[in-house]
Amino acid sequence: MSLLDDFISLIFPNICACCGNSLWKHEEIICTHCDFHLPRTDFHLEPDNQASRTFWGRVNIEGATAGYYFNKGNRIQKLIHLLKYNGRKDIGIFLGEKQGVLLKSSPLFNTVEVIIPVPLHKRKLMKRGYNQSEQFAIGIGKIMNIPVNPYLLYRQKFTETQTKKSRFSRWQNVSDMFAVNDPVQLQGRHILLVDDVITTGATLESCIHALSAVPGIKISIAAIAVALY
């Protein structure tokens, strides 16, 4: 089987998603060099961090984290672009597994009982074919042994992309956007709400407003990355 794998790799080389160099047998998705140089945050160890401060005075959360810093042109931007627009669902799961290892050992997040990805509208979901945040959630859930439920939160209407909008326009674009299915399932539970990138926090804030109507719910946030301004 190893010889067959070697032969296949000659025809279809397994390359690093960041730099394009060939991967060694022990490497997955990205090479060791690129993995070492990913801009990690270690927010899972700090209750007071850039991700959590994004939501201060806006919504009540237990904690917030993001695995990496997102900046134009850096390795994480490239990985997230491949995840969202090039069908690389495996990147989302890979990054989720890495995040899951960190969250599992963190007292801020190790009491989470269910993971909910920020949902896409069904029109965008049909166009893309998958929800990138759900792939990230699947990776986290696999490592933490926690169920992922993508159906408990849904978008009520379609919105334009947030990418080029101002902070206020982003908030207007997603205000009252989300609603909860079967809130009884979430009563008194600690949930982890996950997204790809925290920028202004407007989308996550809107999700939290909807979820906060559930009695006794506790909400934490995890994202692949947080944007640098």
Please list, residue by residue across 122-146, b when 16 or more beta carbons sit within 10 angstroms of its beta carbon and e when fewer do.
Answer: eeeeeeeeebbbbbbbbbbbebbeb
Residues 21 and 53 both lie in one domain: no
Q: What is the pLDDT of residues 104-162, one digit of tens each?
A: 999 999 999 999 999 998 888 999 999 999 999 999 999 999 999 999 999 987 665 55
Which pTM was predicted? Answer: 0.88
Residues 55 and 25 both lie in one domain: no
Q: What are phi and psi of 47, to 5 degrees?
A: -60, -35
* Element (DSSP H or E) covering residue 198: strand 190-198
Name the residue range of residue 19's domain: 1-37
Q: Which of 7-11, 86-90, 134-138 is predicted least confidently?
A: 7-11
* Closest by Cα among 163, 182, 195 to 55: 195
Residues 106 and 29 both lie in one domain: no
Residues 133 and 220 both lie in one domain: yes
pLDDT computed for residue 168 by the predictor:
53
Residues 97 and 141 both lie in one domain: yes
Residues 2 and 114 both lie in one domain: no
DSSP line for 32-56:
HHHHHTS-B--GGG-SSSHHHHTTT
End-to-end CA distance of the chain: 49
Percent of the chain whose predicted confidence (pLDDT) is above 70: 86
SS3 179: strand
In whole angstroms, give the CA distance from residue 62 to residue 52.
9
Residues 106 and 22 both lie in one domain: no
What is the count of structural domains for the chain?
Answer: 2
Kindly report the CA angle at 167 between 58 and 165, in degrees rounded to 5? 145
**Residue 154: beta bridge partners?**
179
Task: Provide the CATH number for the domain around residue 63.
Answer: 3.40.50.2020
